[in-house]
Amino acid sequence: MDAVELLRPDRLAWLGVLPLLYLLSRPPRPRRVELTAHLTQWLHARARLHRRPVRFRWWRFLLLLLAAAALVLAHAGPRHPPRPGPSRLIVVLDASASMAARTESGASAFDVAREAVLQRLATLPAHVDVRVALCREVAEILTGSRDAVATALRAATPWGRGLVALDAVAHGWPADTTAVWTLGDGLGRSAAPRDGAWTRVGKPADNTALVGCRVDDGWPLPEVKVTLQVANHGPARTVALWMHGDPPSPSVGEVPPRTLALAAQETLEVVVEVRRAAGGSLWCELRDTGDVLPLDDRLRIDLPVPPQPDIAVRTAGAAPKPLVAIANALASECGGKVVEGVNATHAGLVLCDGGTLADPVPAAARVVTFGTALDGRGATIDTPRLLDWERRDPITAGLDLSELRVKSALSWPPGFPGTALLHGERGPLAVLRRNGDGLALHFAFRLEDSNLFKLAAFPQLVRRAFARAFGSGARPKVDPAALLDADESRLAAAAAVPDDRPLPRFGTPARSLVRPLLLAALVLLVLRAYLRP
Amino acid sequence: MSELFDDRFRQMLGELVRRMPRTRTTSRAQTPTRRRRRSESGTFSGHRAYTPGDDLRDFDWNVFARTDELFLKVLEDEDRVGWTLILDCSASMTAGDRWTAARRLAAVLGGLALVHLGGLRLVWGAAADRSSRLAGAGALGRYLSTLEGVPLRAEAPRELAVQVLRQRTAGRVAWISDFADPSSYDDALAMLRREGCRVTGWLPALSSDLLPELGGLLRLRDPETGREETLQVDGPLRAAMAEELRRLERAQDGAFDSAGASLVRFPVPARGDYRLRSWSADGLVYRV
């Protein structure tokens, strides 16, 4: 029972009116007393008129007294005083894939956590503002009404890596107004936060998981090299690695199952080469693990359909043989063909040597030019010396261009847009431009004015430019839904997760009792009026 | 001199009894039983001429010896002398001005009885010491003193009737009361009738007995029971009360009719009204 306080206790002085009500409620006192021998006749006459005796009705006075007391109390501003405490609840819910681990009851840890949150939401005071942060690779905030939050929460499923640090989310809230309640398994970055309430779900268990996957696409060649990291967080065991297309089709080459002998607490790296023809999904699956978290035992690699572009060769004069040779090689690798005189916007890749080209090249055009003047601009400089090349760009990374020699090159004006890949002493010798979905790689020199085509890096340069020109759409993708960090998949580490910390008691706002008292007074007065005097 | 019977009242009373004609009773008016009783006892009141059929035992032989004419002795019988007056002394008589009016009415009736009938028995209670026998006009002063000293005391009508019969003075009985509860008089009236008493009820009628004059918020008290009730007396209630009073009248009349008695509602003159006309109204003397 909460205490009641009065905002204006001085108004209780009106209670002094109650004795006056008693006096006013008493029936008027007759001024005369008459002796009569016919009192019986008087009473009969009154009964004939259906009148009631003039008497002081205690129960009517009691009703009036209670109503007046209620009104006076309402006038004094009674209320339940506010209770200090937070009025907002932030639920930080670990929704990473590790929360899919089965618990003893058979439900997943996420199900347990979600049920705990839903039960808590049902019992929270109505004034508490609730927000739920579903933490996976990013934090998804569920806001709105309780029902909306509960509905969204019921639809949520655990997936992906827990990249959101729960501690960072739970930290920094003002404790006097906001209660933070974190629920998770405490693994990986989902470690128990230092602040706020904490509820651990899930139990320590052995687990075998695919914790890493790297895909090296050999495009324009059809080979795809998949490097898998299999972590065994438990005693030594033997598991089977299955890789198959989904749906099973010839587009993904058949990969025979492998048996992996995993030592205790070992992380094994497995390299599998897959040949793809027309794309599809490649499932990598660990079987016979027998652990509580099957979600991290399989992952999907999406292999897009490899492009088969036409390759056009445009030269000012006779096409240099190295250029034609590289065009033929690329076309044969990706299944395309070499065409001549085709508009650059329609060919998959245009290789230009010398001549001129409109600047900027049309969007979505994929162009590699050698000494091609853009809009006819650029003077010729002799024997520009290569100072360095961009070593972090995927096109030039890892290549040795130190032997590049250039006899003459175009001098691009200052402010020429693009990323310089080759830095000459008098300006960039190669510039990379992005034009929408297209790509343009401009070399300032013609092939015949340099020894680039003699370098081993030349085919790589063109191939990388060719592969990059088709963007991310052509690159294989690993479905991150089930890919866990090594720490997160180590379910046995849950034993070290700290114990639960309860939620603080929520505050309550001041609750006025004026309305209930006024209503009570009204009811009492109506009851008094209804009852016969 | 008391306020009840002040000089003016005594003067009016003296004038009243003096002016009223003396009544006589003939033997023809008597019942055989009374005739028998008259012959046995009584007070000599005069002579009358003999008529055939008269009882020979009533001859006055002395007069015959002196005058050679037959005269009969006329004796006043006991019931004329033993006129009984019952005065209701219950507390209900104090309502209004009825108690004063009742005693004055008793004074008038008793005065007439003393002067014209020669005797009176006043009964105001069931005990033997609550009755008084008076005779002759000279007892009028003592009679008035007795009336002044009559205390209020509730007595059941039946007890009063028993007291009257115990005196063996059955005859004419005048009962002064308000008869507020007529049903309580049924037994008494029947008992008196069985014993040959001729009862006349005298009800000092107040104006409020017909239509209540009260109004406003009043506390009404029954002086007999002490019960009190607060009433808001307004027009409708007054009309309903008038109807109740008419019912009471009918009940009172019914009670006396069923007992072969008569009820006289004597309109009480107002205070200070000592006119003979007011006090001799309604054939009062002739009724006596």
ipTM score: 0.78
Instruction: Judge: A54–B218 Cβ closer than 8 Å, yes or no.
Output: no
pLDDT by residue (tens digit) across A48-94?
998 888 778 888 899 999 999 999 999 999 998 888 889 899 999 99
Contacts of B231 in chain A (CB under 8 A): 42, 46, 54
Neighbour count for residue A484 (Cβ, 10 Å) = 29
Instruction: Judge: B245–A38 Cβ closer than 8 Å, yes or no.
Output: yes
* CB proximity list for A432: less than 8 A, separation 6 or greater: A393, A395, A418, A419, A420, A421, A439, A440, A441, A442
Q: What is the pLDDT of residue A343?
A: 54
Q: How many angstroms away from the CA of A34 is the closest CA of chain B? A: 5
pLDDT by residue (tens digit) across A384-405?
888 899 988 988 988 999 999 9
Instruction: Judge: B94–A54 Cβ closer than 8 Å, yes or no.
Output: no
Q: How far is CA B190 from the centre of its chain?
A: 17
Burial profile A486-519: b = 16 or more Cβ within 10 angstroms, e = fewer: ebbbbbbbbeebeeebebbebbbeebebeeebee
Instruction: Judge: A34–B217 Cβ closer than 8 Å, yes or no.
Output: no
Burial profile B69-87: b = 16 or more Cβ within 10 angstroms, e = fewer: ebbbbbbbbbbbbbbbbbb
Kindly report the pTM of this predicted structure.
Answer: 0.51
Residue B9: phi and psi, rounded to 5, are -65, -45
pLDDT by residue (tens digit) across B167-214?
766 578 899 998 988 999 999 999 888 888 888 899 988 877 777 777
pLDDT surpasses 70 at A36: yes
pLDDT by residue (tens digit) across B103-150?
988 998 888 888 777 678 888 888 878 888 887 777 888 888 899 888
Instruction: Judge: A42–B229 Cβ closer than 8 Å, yes or no.
Output: yes
Q: What is the pLDDT of residue B50?
A: 78
* CB proximity list for A283: less than 8 A, separation 6 or greater: A242, A243, A244, A245, A246, A298, A299, A300, A301
Contacts of A34 in chain B (CB under 8 A): 214, 218-221
pLDDT by residue (tens digit) across A163-172?
888 888 888 8
Cα dihedral across residues B61, B64, B70, B75: positive or negative: negative
Name every residue in B having a CB less than 8 A away from some CB of A. 92-96, 98, 178, 180-181, 209, 214, 216-225, 227-232, 236-237, 240-241, 243-245, 247-248
Instruction: Judge: B229–A36 Cβ closer than 8 Å, yes or no.
Output: no
Q: What is the pLDDT of residue A404?
A: 92
| Euclidean distance between CA atoms B278 and B266, whole angstroms | 10
Contacts of B227 in chain A (CB under 8 A): 39
* CB proximity list for A515: less than 8 A, separation 6 or greater: none
Instruction: Judge: A38–B96 Cβ closer than 8 Å, yes or no.
Output: no
Instruction: Judge: B220–A36 Cβ closer than 8 Å, yes or no.
Output: yes
| Euclidean distance between CA atoms A506 and A84, whole angstroms | 8
CATH 3.40.50.880 location in chain A: 311-469
Contacts of A33 in chain B (CB under 8 A): 218-221, 228
Is pLDDT larger for residue B286 or for residue A263?
A: A263
Tell me which of A481-485, B46-50, B82-86 is least confident: A481-485
Q: How many angstroms away from the CA of A56 is the closest CA of chain B? A: 11
pLDDT by residue (tens digit) across A145-155?
989 999 999 99
CATH 3.40.50 location in chain B: 7-22+79-203+263-287
Instruction: Judge: A39–B222 Cβ closer than 8 Å, yes or no.
Output: yes
Cross-sheet strand order for the sheet of A298-303 = A255-262, A237-246, A280-287, A298-303, A477-478
Cα nearest neighbour of B243 on chain A: A45
pLDDT surpasses 80 at A267: yes
Q: Following CA atoms A442, A444, A450, A456 in sequence, which dihedral angle do they give, to the nearest 10 degrees?
A: -30
Contacts of A50 in chain B (CB under 8 A): none
Instruction: Judge: A38–B221 Cβ closer than 8 Å, yes or no.
Output: no
Mean pLDDT, range B234-252, rounded to an integer: 91
| A 44-103: CB under 8 A from B | 44-46, 48-49, 51, 53-55
Among partner residues B93, B216, B231, which is closest to A42 by beta-carbon distance? Answer: B231
Q: How far is CA A127 from CA A4, A148, A273, B13, B170, in A?
A: 19, 16, 58, 99, 100
Give the confidence band of B26 by pLDDT, cuts at 50, 70, 90: very low
- Beta strands per DSSP E along A297-418: 298-303, 311-315, 338-340, 349-353, 356-357, 366-370, 373-374, 379-382, 386-389, 408-411
Q: How many angstroms away from the CA of A60 is the closest CA of chain B? A: 19
Q: What is the pLDDT of residue B232?
A: 85
Instruction: Judge: B221–A37 Cβ closer than 8 Å, yes or no.
Output: no
Q: Kindly state the tokens that stand for B241.
A: 């009360």
Instruction: Judge: B230–A53 Cβ closer than 8 Å, yes or no.
Output: yes
Looking at domain B7-22+79-203+263-287, which CATH architecture does it have?
A: 3-Layer(aba) Sandwich (3.40)
pLDDT surpasses 50 at B79: no
Give the confidence band of B36 by pLDDT, cuts at 50, 70, 90: very low
| Euclidean distance between CA atoms A483 and A300, whole angstroms | 9
Mutation choice for A interface testing from B178, B184, B220 by most A CBs within 10 A: B220
Give the confidence band of A415 by pLDDT, cuts at 50, 70, 90: confident
Q: What is the pLDDT of residue A43?
A: 92
Cα nearest neighbour of A36 on chain B: B95
pLDDT by residue (tens digit) across A275-295?
776 677 888 888 877 788 888
**What class does CATH assign to A88-205+490-496?**
alpha beta
Closest listed residue to residue A351, CA positions, set A359, A362, A339: A339
Q: What is the pLDDT of residue A248?
A: 64
pLDDT by residue (tens digit) across A310-350?
888 888 777 788 888 888 888 887 777 888 765 555 678 88
Q: What is the pLDDT of residue B5?
A: 85
Instruction: Judge: B245–A41 Cβ closer than 8 Å, yes or no.
Output: yes
A23 touches chain B (CB under 8 A): no
pLDDT by residue (tens digit) across A130-140?
999 999 888 89
Give the confidence band of B286 by pLDDT, cuts at 50, 70, 90: low
| Euclidean distance between CA atoms A163 and A188, whole angstroms | 9
Instruction: Judge: A33–B98 Cβ closer than 8 Å, yes or no.
Output: no
Give the confidence band of A443 by pLDDT, cuts at 50, 70, 90: very high
Instruction: Judge: B220–A48 Cβ closer than 8 Å, yes or no.
Output: no
A33 touches chain B (CB under 8 A): yes
pLDDT surpasses 90 at B252: yes
Percent of chain A with pLDDT over 70: 92
Among partner residues A27, A37, A49, which is closest to B95 by beta-carbon distance? Answer: A37
pLDDT by residue (tens digit) across A4-29?
889 899 999 999 988 898 888 888 78
Q: Is omega for the bond preceding B236 within 30 degrees of 0, making it cis?
A: no
Is pLDDT larger for residue B266 or for residue B54?
A: B266
Give the confidence band of A2 by pLDDT, cuts at 50, 70, 90: low
pLDDT surpasses 50 at A37: yes
Cα nearest neighbour of A52 on chain B: B231
pLDDT surpasses 50 at A355: yes
**What class does CATH assign to A207-306+478-482?**
mainly beta
pLDDT surpasses 90 at A497: no
pLDDT surpasses 50 at B32: no
A39 touches chain B (CB under 8 A): yes
Q: What is the pLDDT of residue A514?
A: 93
pLDDT surpasses 60 at A1: no
Mutation choice for B interface testing from A31, A32, A38 by most B CBs within 10 A: A38
Q: What is the pLDDT of residue A357?
A: 78
Mean pLDDT, range B256-282, rounded to an integer: 83
Q: What is the pLDDT of residue B28?
A: 40
Instruction: Judge: B244–A35 Cβ closer than 8 Å, yes or no.
Output: no
Q: Kindly state the tokens that stand for A237.
A: 């065991």
Instruction: Judge: A35–B98 Cβ closer than 8 Å, yes or no.
Output: no
Q: What is the pLDDT of residue A378?
A: 66
Looking at domain A311-469, which CATH architecture does it have?
A: 3-Layer(aba) Sandwich (3.40)
Instruction: Judge: B218–A30 Cβ closer than 8 Å, yes or no.
Output: yes
Report the relative pairing of strands A5-6 and A78-80 from DSSP bridges. Answer: antiparallel
